[in-house]
A and B are shown apart, each in its own frame.
Chain A
Amino acid sequence: QKEVEQDPGPLSVPEGAIVSLNCTYSNSAFQYFMWYRQYSRKGPELLMYTYSSGNKEDGRFTAQVDKSSKYISLFIRDSQPSDSATYLCAIKPGAGSYQLTFGKGTKLSVIP
């Protein structure tokens, strides 16, 4: 079993829809969770960073972490065509560790 599993999609939704992106992980030692958005031929852009179970909201984005299920989600409300990109989850163990493990990324298309 891979350390981080992420459905690569592609995922296509109409403009204004709520998007749900998910990752599962296998190692309970992972404590820090990040979501990145990557446009084609650009570096990943950090969207959300959290280290506790529960929800964290920032504008149209909500990150959800369930450590008991080893499941993390990113919700995008009122999706826009500009949200079309690849979304990567990334996780790492404790604060002192630098090892960052990425999901394969989910390609999202928001159709006008």
Chain B
Amino acid sequence: GAVVSQHPSWVICKSGTSVKIECRSLDFQATTMFWYRQFPKQSLMLMATSNEGSKATYEQGVEKDKFLINHASLTLSTLTVTSAHPEDSSFYICSADRQDYGYTFGSGTRLTVV
């Protein structure tokens, strides 16, 4: 089955620093990957759609300069939270669409900004 690997699983950073989260498709090529944010006891909120070789498409209200997305290859997309602040603390999850398997999600990254 389709596997999506996400790293790190958790990270603590100081306010004002940047954090990079990686999302890799291990056994398939993903032209498109998706980044979600999830607050406690809430469902997933789509932040942006990452397209290989082109700019990401951001959902309304998501700051593209704060959440930098790079999709440099068919198996890797990265999300960089720039100048992180405590309000950016959340659970970030990536996913990819494997046509025959539906959407496969990574294990998520818990970001805590102190």
Contact = CB atoms under 8 A, between A and B. Distances in A.
A110 to B, nearest CB: 19
Contacts of B43: 88, 102-105
Given A98-B34, A98-B49, A104-B43, A42 B107 contact: yes
Contact of B44 (A34, A49, A102): A102
Interface string B80-104: 0000000000010101010101111
B110 interface: yes
Interface string B31-55: 0101000000011101001000000
Contacts of B110: 41
A94 to B, nearest CB: 12
A102 B4 CA distance: 19
A46 interface: yes
A41 B6 CA distance: 13
A32 interface: yes
B105 interface: yes
A32 B43 CA distance: 19
Interface of A: 32, 34, 36, 41-46, 49, 88, 90, 95, 98, 100, 102-105
Given A43-B107, A45-B105, 16 more contacts: A41-B91, A42-B108, A43-B93, A43-B95, A43-B105, A43-B108, A44-B93, A46-B101, A46-B103, A88-B44, A98-B32, A98-B49, A100-B46, A102-B43, A104-B42, A104-B43
